[in-house]
Amino acid sequence: MPRGALQVGLSIGAGSAYANDRLAPAAAMADSGRVTYIGFDSLAERTMALAHQRRRRDPATGQDERICELIPLLAGYLGRGHRVIGNFGAANPDAAVCDIVDSLRAQGQRGIPIGVIRGDAVLDLVRSLDCELPERQTTVAALGDRVVSANAYIGAEPIVACLQDGAQIVVGGRIADPSLFVGPICHELGWALDDWDAVAHATMVGHLLECGVHSTGGNFEDPPYRVVPDPHRLGFPLADVTRGDAVITKLPGTGGAVDARTMKTQLYYEIHDPAAYLTPDVTADFSDIEIEDLGGDRVRLWGARGLPRPANLKVLVGVDDGFRATGEISFGGPGCVTRARRAEEILRAHLQPYAASLTDVRVDLVGLTSLFGDRPTNVEPSEVRLRMAVHTPARGVADAAAHEVELLYFGPSGGGGVVTSVVPALGVTPAFVPRELVTLSTEVVHS
């Protein structure tokens, strides 16, 4: 449906789906003249904990690491007075503001108002409440010093506050993905944050934009059944939003596709009960959404409904799980599976002395068992790759386990291409806290 004379709307685009997303499509979105708001989701469940790790090493860090690369790409867009919302703050929103201010000043853009949202870091709160960690079947106190971070998913409310105070860039920490879009939509179109149907509609739009190319042909192709044009240059999605509907599309001339299929797969991505999608802003009902494929990479959606927002906020708790060592080695040709299994026996024998310190050991044959477990097959692959992964609290044991994979060069014949790595293992696990115990604040500063 074209935007009618009485339908007040706004156009909003996606700028990133995670911390290391491509920058060029964001620059294209900014330079397109097509949108006045861009939302940048730069966090995933693990990104936040990794950011806290960086901040523990250096208190001046913990923010998104690519702000200084991104801001120059947005110079023209910001110069035209348009707006950006991002969770670039990660574990340190104030450090993100510093980077943004420095970048803007370096390109001669002074006086740009930047809204910062503080208060999503709630480690002290989850400690004092001794929150349950249901997926670990334990509590915060029981894990002691291993609990290293806690961030509450926060919603659109502080974003709207920043925008009302004139912010052109809004930065926070663990802003929930769809809320990055719910804030500007509700602010610009004047929707109350307790108009649950309206907030659910905005949340639907946010959900379709926050994963970037997931809506335009990314993580979608399965030839010959599902193919999109030019998958090497997928465009980021954007939405034309009114109270009655939203039309999702992408920039002209970009690759990929926006059609009923790409919309359906993203609409229900990472949704559990479609009638009760819980966000900090709303309990959204996506079970009765209608999808009309308008052709030309345009899809119209409407019909989301809302119920009041949840009383609790979800918190992601970061847990120090020691170290993770991985190592891989390939075997090929006749008998490769037998030789790889023999290598596994040798490897497990050499790991035996470390057993007391290994909290988890896994050995898979890539090409045979690594994704779906040991399933019956009557075809021998022409090559397999043994992959070992272990968890241990001891760095030395992790190094020794990785080294044992390297030593498989002297195991069964023909093993080649060893790669190993040892990294800190940082777990994240959910908890829930009463919303009223999380105190958020906002401030607008200028570049």
Partner 1 sequence: MILREVAYARSGDKGDTSNICVFVHDAADYPMLVQRLTAERVKGHFAGLVRGDVVRYELPRVHGLNFVLFQALDGGVSATLRIDPHGKSFQSLALAMEVGEGWSIEPLSDPWHASGGA
**Among residues 78, 267, 282, 401, which is the contact residue for partner 1, using CB under 8 A?**
267
**Among residues 219, 338, 421, 441, which is the contact residue for partner 1, using CB under 8 A?**
219
Binding to partner 1 by residue 426, rule CB under 8 A? yes
**Among residues 429, 438, 444, 447, which is the contact residue for partner 1, using CB under 8 A?**
429
Binding to partner 1 by residue 224, rule CB under 8 A? yes
- Rounded to an integer, what distance in angstroms lies between the CA atom of residue 294 and that of residue 299? 5
How many residues are recorded in the chain? 447
Name residues contacting partner 1, limited to 243-262 (CB under 8 A).
261
**Among residues 101, 204, 239, 390, which is the contact residue for partner 1, using CB under 8 A?**
390
Q: Nearer Cβ to partner 1, position 34 or 261?
A: 261
Minimum distance of partner 1 from residue 441's CB (angstroms): 28
- Rounded to an integer, what distance in angstroms lies between the CA atom of residue 220 and that of residue 65? 28
Number of other residues whose CB lies within 10 A of the CB of residue 416 = 12
Binding to partner 1 by residue 265, rule CB under 8 A? yes
Minimum distance of partner 1 from residue 35's CB (angstroms): 26
- Rounded to an integer, what distance in angstroms lies between the CA atom of residue 83 and that of residue 77? 8
Minimum distance of partner 1 from residue 116's CB (angstroms): 27
Minimum distance of partner 1 from residue 265's CB (angstroms): 4
Question: Do residues 392 and 358 touch, judged by C-beta distance below 8 A?
Answer: yes
Binding to partner 1 by residue 46, rule CB under 8 A? yes
Q: Nearer Cβ to partner 1, position 135 or 165?
A: 135
Q: Which residues pair with 91 in a beta bridge?
A: none
Minimum distance of partner 1 from residue 110's CB (angstroms): 41
Question: Do residues 120 and 154 touch, judged by C-beta distance below 8 A?
Answer: yes
Binding to partner 1 by residue 113, rule CB under 8 A? no
Question: Do residues 42 and 19 touch, judged by C-beta distance below 8 A?
Answer: yes
Binding to partner 1 by residue 226, rule CB under 8 A? yes
Binding to partner 1 by residue 137, rule CB under 8 A? no
- Rounded to an integer, what distance in angstroms lies between the CA atom of residue 346 and that of residue 26? 49
Question: Among 446, 29, 11, which Cα is nearest to 213's?
Answer: 29
Question: Do residues 187 and 164 touch, judged by C-beta distance below 8 A?
Answer: yes
Interhelix angle for 196-209 vs 260-267, to 10°? 110
**Among residues 124, 145, 222, 436, which is the contact residue for partner 1, using CB under 8 A?**
222
Pairing between β-strand 441-446 and β-strand 113-118 as defined by DSSP bridges: antiparallel
Binding to partner 1 by residue 288, rule CB under 8 A? yes
Question: Among 443, 431, 438, which Cα is nearest to 45's?
Answer: 431
Question: Do residues 100 and 447 touch, judged by C-beta distance below 8 A?
Answer: yes
Question: Do residues 254 and 282 touch, judged by C-beta distance below 8 A?
Answer: no
Which window, 26-34, 75-83, 366-374, 434-442, contacts partner 1 (CB under 8 A)? 366-374
Binding to partner 1 by residue 289, rule CB under 8 A? yes
Question: Do residues 9 and 3 touch, judged by C-beta distance below 8 A?
Answer: yes
x-or-dash string of contact with partner 1, 323-362, rule CB under 8 A: -x-----------------------------------xxx
Binding to partner 1 by residue 274, rule CB under 8 A? yes
Question: Do residues 97 and 87 touch, judged by C-beta distance below 8 A?
Answer: no
Name residues contacting partner 1, limited to 295-314 (CB under 8 A).
303
Binding to partner 1 by residue 427, rule CB under 8 A? yes
Pairing between β-strand 83-86 and β-strand 37-40 as defined by DSSP bridges: parallel
- Rounded to an integer, what distance in angstroms lies between the CA atom of residue 256 and that of residue 67? 27
Residue 146: CA count within 13 A, CB half-sphere: 19
**Among residues 430, 435, 437, 443, which is the contact residue for partner 1, using CB under 8 A?**
430
Count of residues in contact with partner 1, rule CB under 8 A = 56
Which window, 20-28, 346-354, 369-377, 414-422, contacts partner 1 (CB under 8 A)? 369-377
Give residues with Cβ within 8 angstroms of 44, minimum separation 6: 18, 19
**Among residues 6, 124, 232, 272, which is the contact residue for partner 1, using CB under 8 A?**
272
Contact residues: partner 1, CB under 8 A? 45-46, 49, 135, 219-220, 222, 224-226, 261, 264-275, 287-291, 303, 321, 324, 360-362, 364, 366, 370-379, 387, 389-391, 425-430
